[in-house]
Structure 1
Amino acid sequence: MVKSAGARILVASNRGPVTYSVDETGALRSRRGGGGLVSGLSAIGDDAGAVWVCAALSDGDREAVRQGVAEPGSRMIAIAPDVFEAAYNGIANSVLWFVHHLLYQTPLEPVFDEDFRAQWASFEAYNTAFADALAEEAAEGAHVLVQDYHLSLVPALLRERRPDLRIGHFTHTPWAPPDYYRMLPDDVAAQVLEGILGADRAAFLTRRWADAFAACCVAVLGAELSEDGHAVTYRGRTTRLGVHGLGADPDFLRERAHRSDVADRIATLRAETGAERKLIVRVDRTELSKNIVRGLLAYRQLLDEHPEWRGRVVHVAFAYPSRQDLAVYREYTAEVGRVAEAINADYGTADWQPVLLKVDDDFARSLAAYRLADVALVNPIRDGMNLVAKEVPVVSDRGVALVLSREAGAFAELGDDAFVVNPYDIRATAAALHSALTLPASDRADRTKRLAAAATALPPARWFLDQLHALDD
């Protein structure tokens, strides 16, 4: 099926640019999201003939589909709720995410049984729905950018339907090394790789993740890797590999960080922490890979080993709930709260609360913490990139010292000017926090300038356009 009419540029992602809700009167209300894809599509202009294909995630989204309501330039796919749940939470978030972030407790998990096979069938159906929609919407020779691990099967499925298209796939997560990746059932491991290799180009946030993908293709499929490591050939087709390190959007961040609501949050935070105290700031979702608990334990170690910091520093920890429909995430969120409470109980005084933990999502408050931070703690077990590490230096008022895990994708760009840590090593992280807190002001200012320059080297609009233009090479 080749169409002469249709979209010339298409983006596919699980979440779209708009979400819908039904108000108390039964009317639909829409809310526009942000992020790199929204910025990228805006950058190409309204006359580009672009369409964004996404899933209907909520009851409001599904009602919008039923009524035929859609934002210009978007198509929302209504997938049966049970199929979506099995594909999204059962496979994408509980299997593929765990594999790529190396999160399994292997004595007990994973278990690939008949329940897994039923969920995998839903994942196939979910990806097929996207491939069908893209095939219907695309003009002849159109460029299609498929986003992330949720849609890893789409490129090959779309290639079968529309061999005329130029297809790119971008993975926003890390990629597991072959030994860990091969925990997946052999046929599933092969199917995921073959799915992405249906693209003309497969791109990643860092060269490390691209190399890991290539190594899996060689180990699992017996594919051939080019001499420079930048292309994989399998069954007569060659897929080029690319790297695009998504950066922060400096214009948006600096403007947004100086609005009145952020100023109000700064005043509130200073009242809560004390005007003269140094602040160690982290802003994360309570995602298992973010390593919030070990960060708290490292802060506790700092207070043990350097009692001179007691009463002089506060750990501002914003841990926003994530994936609370999964029991393991609810348990982790609760553990974050327990550890923070224990530190406050053991070390706190009448006029000093060592940990200020906030679990309600508030973007203005996050920006306020960015501006005030003396130290930013970003210590994930494993992260595709981690934009927090890039955003804090951009908006910092007085300069910030960055304590950064070597397992964050951002390490590739920011490591030279950060205090780099092994995310599992509590003592070493505590030592890095102490070094960061005692960094001379001039050194901190110089590091912050270099961090901000590296962090904004590929802002979202250019990141998107680079992927698009690379399909023409």
Structure 2
Amino acid sequence: MVEASPARILLASNRGPVSYSIEDDGELTARRGGGGLVSGLSAIGEEVDSVWVCAALSEGDRAATRQGLTDPSVRMLDIDAGTFARAYNGIANSTLWFVHHLIFNTPTTPVFGASFRREWASYQAYNRAFAEALAEAATPGATVMVQDYHLSLTPRLLRELRPDLRIGHFSHTPWAPPDYYRLLPDDVAAQVLAGILGADRAGFLTRRWAAAFADCCEAVLGAAVDRREDGTVTVTHAGRTTVLGVHALGADGDFLRERAHRPDVDSRLAALREAVGDRRTIVRVDRTELSKNIVRGLHAYEHLLRTRPEWLERVVHIAFAYPSRHDLPEYREYTASVLRTAQEINDEFGTPTWQPVILHVNDDFPRSLAAYRLADVALVNPIRDGMNLVAKEIPAVSDAGCALVLSREAGAYEELGEDAITVNPYDVIATAEALHTGLSMDPEERADRCKRLAAAGTALPPSAWFLEQYRALEQQD
């Protein structure tokens, strides 16, 4: 393994900035990732020693790690595959994700038995591996930024190993209110909260999620929460005080607008325009994630066609639902439900010259950008979402200006609600009416709203979002 030099800035996340694949000839190919963490860490400056600690996610990653081929600035942890699977699928994605998005079917799930306890032990081991790697790689007094629900325990474990470090944690998900959070076993609920409180600063995407975390700390840990008049919130527990910060991740408007006008996007836009004709468009782009509420969105469109016959043959719903977590049975079943519902709408309402729903389930970023440009109405109706960047991206890219139908349960609602058409994500009839309102909106009003949505949605692009967190942590007393 290529050992990273001691670093003054360290980032920890489940997924790293590079991934490796094994080609047919056995050679390893590296692929660089993008996003806010990558651009943000780069923006700090190459002169500052930094290390990214992440997990080896694939056989290619494991092979690169074992052969010492990884970049010295990336420390990829070759965690036992069984331990990783139990921590990642069993706890992070099937328990913590479900709790924070409020999506358990509580009459039957969750069931916290012996199998769960094996998974929890793996989650603890997974977090301990990260803490040990960070402790080893950090210079005295270094700054460590730990990311997301996969690594909830890491700040406290790291604090025990290296009390000299400045530690931050950022939650990219919503946070459950106390009554729902307490679905977790009492000891697990306490450990997750205490783990994050090992950080000097705990960051969230919205004030709502930060407030829910503080409420859980009070209810579960008996922690002291100080809610100051200037908006600052601190949580004190076990002799330590953690500052809660809010940093609302925005879309990278400059990149998206430039990327959306490249030839590959233009060709896909031409194909979509040919398929749509001169009809209006309702656009959604999501992963087939349970919380995204795609099926109810399709039922809302179905209700629109049934109750507003003036839109028959005059509108097309472009729905891109890209595969997500298909190693979990709930997600495979949900994808099948999306496909089935779209087909039922096309079978009931379609004509020889009109396909009411154009659905794609294979990921294609240029095609997504083409749909963004074509959108008259953007439908973003999650049951619950930490932020939802699609709500910010479509207005930034739309050619003629789009109306945004937005769930009040999306984190983006906090910034975009004033100019969006707000919906209760469970109310299919109200969502259908919101779609009608968006489709009927005066073009000038739609364009004006869209400009304000784009400005709000791109106010804190990924690199600035990362730097804001870093500087807040560095400047904290």
For the aligned pair, the TM-score class normalised by the smaller chain equals: over 0.9
What secondary structure sits across from 1:48 in the alignment? coil
SS in structure 2 at match of 1:208: helix
Distance 1:437 1:25 in 2: 53
In structure 2, C-alpha distance between the alignment counterparts of 1:392 and 1:66, rounded to whole Å:
42
2:384 to 375, 382, 385: 382
Count of aligned positions? 468
Identity of aligned residues (%): 70
**Displacement of 1:250:** 1.2
Match of 1:33 in 2: 33
Displacement after TM superposition at 1:73 (Å): 1.3
State the one-letter code of the partner of 2:52: W
Pick the aligned partner of 1:237 from 218, 237, 240: 240
Measured against aligned partners, the alpha-carbon deviations of 1:418-443 in whole angstroms (never above 9, x if no partner) come to 00000000000000000000110110
Per-residue deviation, residues 366-394 of structure 1 (Å, max 9, x unmatched): 00000000000000000000000000011
Aligned equivalents of 2:404, 2:420: Cα separation in 1 = 5
Residues 307-361 of structure 1: CA deviation (Å, up to 9, x unaligned): 1101000000000010000001000000000000000000000000000000000
- Give the equivalent residue in structure 2 for 1:110: 110
CA offsets 1:240-297 (integer angstroms, 9 cap, x no match): 00000000011111111010000000011112222x1111000000000000000000
Cα distance in 1 for partners of 2:197, 2:398 equals 41
Q: Distance in 2 between matches of 1:359 and 1:48?
A: 41
Q: Which residue of 2 aligns with 1:94?
A: 94
Residue of structure 1 equivalent to 2:418: 416
Q: Which residue of 2 aligns with 1:178?
A: 178
SS at match of 1:105: coil
What amino acid does structure 2 have at the position aligned with 1:226? Answer: D
In structure 1, the residue matched to 2:18 is 18
Q: Give the superposition deviation at 1:211.
A: 0.2
Specify the alignment match of 1:73 in structure 2: 73
* Structure-to-structure mapping, 1:185-334, within 5 angstroms: 185-228=185-228, 230-274=233-277, 276-334=278-336
- For 1:349, the equivalent position in structure 2 comes to 351
Distance in 2 (CA, whole Å) between partners of 1:152 and 1:401 is 37
Query: Structure 2 CA distance, aligned partners of 1:366 and 1:422?
Result: 25
- 1:41 offset after TM fit, Å? 1.0
User: Does 2:435 align with 1:433?
Assistant: yes
Query: Counterparts of 1:368 and 1:244 in 2: how far apart (Å)?
Result: 29
Q: Which portions of structure 1, spanning 4 or more consecutive aligned residues, are displaced by more than 2 angstroms? A: none
What per-residue deviation string (whole Å, max 9, x for no partner) do you get for residues 167-207 of structure 1?
Answer: 00000000000000000000000000000000000000000
1:397 positional shift: 0.4
Aligned to 1:395: 397
Cα distance between partner residues in 1 of 2:409 and 2:435: 17
Residue of structure 2 equivalent to 1:146: 146
Query: Which residue identity lines up with residue 181 of structure 1 in the other structure?
Result: Y
Question: CA offset at residue 72 of structure 1?
Answer: 3.9
Q: State the secondary structure of the residue aligned to 1:242.
A: strand
CA distance in 1, matches of 2:139, 2:254: 34
SS at match of 1:47: coil
Q: Distance in 2 between matches of 1:318 and 1:243?
A: 30
| Cα offset, 1:227, TM superposition | 3.3
> What stretches of structure 2 of length at least 5 have no aligned partner?
none
Normalised by the length of structure 2, the TM-score is: 0.97
Shift of 1:26: 0.9
Structure 1: unaligned runs, 5 residues or longer: none
Structure 2 letter corresponding to 1:178: P
- Give the secondary-structure state (helix, strand or coil) at the position aligned to 2:264: helix
